[in-house]
Amino acid sequence: MSFNYTVLDKDKQTEARRGKLETEHGSFQTPIFMPVGTQAAVKSISPPELKEIGAEIILGNTYHLSLRPGEELIEKAGGLHEFMNWDRPILTDSGGFQVFSLAELNKITDQGVHFQSHIDGARYFIDPERSIEIQNRLGADIIMAFDECPPGDADKKYVNKAVERTLKWAERCQKKHNPNSGQTLFGIIQGGVYKDLRQMCASELRDMNFAGYAVGGLSVGEKKEDMMRVLDFTVPELPEDKPRYLMGVGTPGDLLEGVQRGIDMFDCVLPTRLGRHGSCFTSRGRIKVRNAEYKEDFTPVDPECDCRVCENYTRAYIRHLLKRKEILGVRLTSYHNLYFYLQLMKKVRSAVSRGQLSQLCRDFYQKYGR
């Protein structure tokens, strides 16, 4: 098996660690942020640009890809890497999160989920076996178990039921998954904000010996303190020698908090989504570059950033492009925002290896704000 994870350094003051993750399409160091390429493209950004920005692994969404263009087509193209011309690692989610958040749910049973496509209302059925089959055909390096994601406001009884299903489904995923496929399967811990459920779920999944573990069902409407509390009591239940992935999270601050709690991998649409809406991350906090105050601002988006956008374009120009709905505007904000995230994680890895993570976090918050 080509998958391997090694801890390289451990922080002394926090749970943070620096690690190395090896896959069939190359290796990278953690903690890492994975840009989201929902529909076989990171929105507005090309694969060569992703490399320029420093992306080492990207994410694809199984739900979207299986609806359009369909896993058959992507398999015919030679898999997702070939289809989109990205030769570095890819992770696909299980489709679960989108089925539960985007689609119209018709019926959830222990067998699987009947749902209607958010695009055209067409009826589909997905279960653990089907999710793994789709992900096998997409051909990502890391694939995810199919889990049940309860809504953020679900009561304990509901969440308990979801955890039970998630555990049974994890077993079925593992059974369906071919360990010689060159793909690696991660398990997903559910349990809402409930300590006993999270710990029980983590403990059971740990016994199933997955190659990596994700914490799912966070950033779904719960309070930030709750998210951090969940990490505080969940991550210690996970094996030290396996990578840990916090799904769908989050802001730069969330990343720093997650890292300090022992998380190795993150993904989030925030940098590209906010970019499309005209917001940019800077070392001194987020700015809405679309705003009138930047009309005659001929400084870079972030004067402390050394990305191509900040080296070559001004806030005034980007604002003009965004206001005029020029595609280049969205390209520039998305590029910068992704660079900001990837640079932050690069600094995090360096700080962990030098034992200076806490200092980095303090410095970051002092300028960026909480």
In the complex, which residues of this chain contact a second copy (CB under 8 A)? 39-41, 43-48, 68-69, 73, 76-77, 83-85, 295-296, 298, 308, 312-314, 316-317, 320-321, 323-324, 326-331
Burial of 136 (0-12, 13-18, 19+ CB in 10 A): buried
302 is catalytic: no
**Helices and strands (H and E) in the chain: how many:** 15, 16
9 is catalytic: no
State the minimum distance, in angstroms, from the CB of residue 284 to a second copy: 23
For residue 191, give both structure tokens. 């349990």
Contact 174, 145 (CB under 8 A): yes
Contact 230, 261 (CB under 8 A): no
Q: Where are the beta strands (DSSP E) in 24-88?
A: 26-30, 32-34, 58-60
CB of 91 to a second copy, least distance (A): 19
Answer for the pair 113, 150: CB distance below 8 angstroms, yes or no. Answer: no
Nearer to a second copy, 7 or 41 (CB): 41
Give least dist CB 323 to a second copy, A: 7
Nearer to a second copy, 95 or 250 (CB): 95
**Minimum CB–partner distance for residue 72 and a second copy (Å):** 9
Q: How far apart are CA 312 and CA 87, in angstroms?
A: 28
Q: How far is the CB of 35 from a second copy (least distance, A)?
A: 13
Q: Which is nearer to a second copy, 48 or 369 (CB)?
A: 48
CA distance 197 to 151: 15
- Which CB, 323 or 367, lies closer to a second copy? 323
Of 93, 97, 208, 178, nearest in space to 142 by CA: 93
Q: Dihedral (C-alpha) 299, 46, 54, 211: value to the nearest 10 degrees?
A: 140
Neighbours of 222 (CB within 10 A): 16
Nearer to a second copy, 18 or 315 (CB): 315
Tell me the closest approach of the beta carbon of residue 221 to a second copy, in angstroms: 27
CA distance 61 to 101: 13
Cβ-based neighbours of 60, under 8 Å, separated by 6 or more: 37, 38, 40, 80, 90, 91, 92, 93, 138, 140
| Structural tokens at position 96 | 């679960």
152 close to 220: Cβ distance less than 8 angstroms? yes
Q: Tell me whether residue 124 or residue 317 sits nearer to a second copy (CB atom).
A: 317
What letter represents residue 369's amino acid? G
Of the residues 93, 254, 264, 302, only one is catalytic, namely 93
- In order of 13, 192, 220, 230, 369, the CA distances from 226 in angstroms are 22, 9, 11, 6, 20
State in angstroms the smallest separation of the CB of 337 from a second copy: 15
Q: Exactly one of 127, 141, 267, 302 is catalytic; which is it?
A: 267
Closer of 75 and 222 to a second copy (Cβ): 75
Catalytic sites, residue numbers: 93, 267
